[in-house]
Amino acid sequence: MKIRVSKGGGEDPPQSLTPQQRKEWNAYVDWIDKKGYKGSPLLDKKDTGLANNLFNQFKKENPNTTISLDHVKAVQSEMEALAQNVRGFEARRGNPNADKLMQGTSKVDGWPGSKTTSFRFPDMDKSTYSNSVLTSHQNLGILNPQLKPSDSASARALQPTLPTGSLKLEKMADGKYYYQNKDGDYVQYNK
């Protein structure tokens, strides 16, 4: 993963977030969405203090939250890594719109503005099917954007495995992925 560091600043690259911190960031994005400010350009106006005030209000309402404004650079860095991985994966699959996915991720500047608050870390689920019947479902937690399928055996275990007899995943109009089983039925795939 490449981490952008400003030239001449001698800054240390942002630390990686823990799964709990990614979950807390998602909670913050959900909270700010309920307040009507998710992705709002008003958050980009540093002189108003709105972004900092909202974050501090969230912390006050959620005192057990461990993330702070100091974690924003790490959030931005991991979101950019996730966007690069998603685009690369889709490009390898031949998706002609791969370069358009997750557009608008923030530069790594430490400010919780409109672009930074537009994205959540995805949850990972793994479902196992036998004869088109769900046999097990497991929530694997929040995706680590720095994990690439080729990095480790545990990462390879997270790769989608399709039931025997299926052909390929297809994204349907509802935005969800489906595979066609051996009987020709389309079955939703929970990744």
Query: What confidence tens digit (pLDDT) does each residue in 15-26 have?
Result: 788 888 998 999
What's the pTM value of the predicted model, to 2 decimals? 0.63
3-class SS at 8? coil
Query: What confidence tens digit (pLDDT) does each residue in 71-112 have?
Result: 999 999 988 888 888 888 888 888 888 888 888 888 899 999
3-class SS at 90? helix
Say what the pLDDT of residue 13 is: 63
Q: Rounded CA gap, 35 and 84, in Å?
A: 29
Query: In b/e form, how buried is each residue of 15-35, taking b as 16+ CB within 10 angstroms?
Result: ebbeeebbbbbbebbebbeee
Say what the pLDDT of residue 12 is: 63
Bridge partners (DSSP) listed for residue 127: 137
Q: Rounded CA gap, 110 and 60, in Å?
A: 20
> Of 113-117, 151-155, 160-164, 173-177, which range is least confident?
151-155
Q: Per-domain residue ranges for the chain?
A: 19-118, 123-189
Q: How far is CA 141 from CA 19, 20, 49, 156, in A?
A: 8, 9, 33, 16
Say what the pLDDT of residue 153 is: 37
> Of 30-39, 44-53, 140-149, which range is least confident?
140-149
- The pLDDT confidence band at residue 165, using thresholds 50, 70 and 90, is very low
